[in-house]
Amino acid sequence: MRNTSDNEKSIGKLFREASAGEREAFEKLYAEFYTPLYRYMYFRLKNRSDALDLTQTVFFKFWKNIGSYKEAGTPSAFLYTIARNTLIDFFRTKKHDAIPSDELVAKQDEATVPELPRDDSFAEEIRNSLLILGDSEREIITLRFMSELSNAEISTITGKTEPAIRQIQSRALRALREHLKNKKLFE
């Protein structure tokens, strides 16, 4: 897992250096967080092009606002909060002026979703199984297991308490386990 305390300390140091205007520190942060942030966007949008665009938007906003970073939270939480707010803004500016329901997310343009290798049907089934979850559950599972954030970081990002995060996560994992068990993919 990426979130060791030594790693968080070095990431915190990079945040301080980037906030002082050091371009190299920003580039290292970009390299560290690009893939996890893209993954977060992609699993929320299911559209590669939008996920790429929004990930770039997150880094632009990050660069503009890095001076407002307060060391009260973790650096990861600061970036994911920007990502979450960018995602919310994106949905608000869409045609419906609202965050899409689970049904709308499930119907998004599948033509832009990269295909998984044919022999990786289990991974494809898990990806599709995330659609059975509600928005909040899907977001927390994505942040926890795809982006490897701690419950404390997820709490900071979502504004929910850690016990609520644990409860939502537990409920979502139970639903996923049951769904996959019914499909005979998980015992």
pLDDT of residue 106: 40
Q: Are 156 and 150 in contact (CB under 8 A)?
A: no
Mark the ranges of the chain whose per-residue pLDDT is less than 70. Answer: 1-8, 70-73, 95-124, 184-187
pLDDT of residue 109: 37
- Give the DSSP per-residue string, the chain: ----HHHHHHHHHHHHHHHTT-HHHHHHHHHHHHHHHHHHHHHHH--HHHHHHHHHHHHHHHHHHGGG--TTS-HHHHHHHHHHHHHHHHHHHSTTSSPPPHHHHHTS-GGGSPPPPTT-HHHHHHHHHGGGS-HHHHHHHIIIIIS---HHHHHHHH---HHHHHHHHHHHHHHHHHHHHHTTS--
Domain of residue 115: give its range. 5-182
pLDDT of residue 161: 92
Number of domains the chain contains: 1
Judge whether 52 lies within some domain: yes
pLDDT of residue 179: 83
Judge whether 187 lies within some domain: no
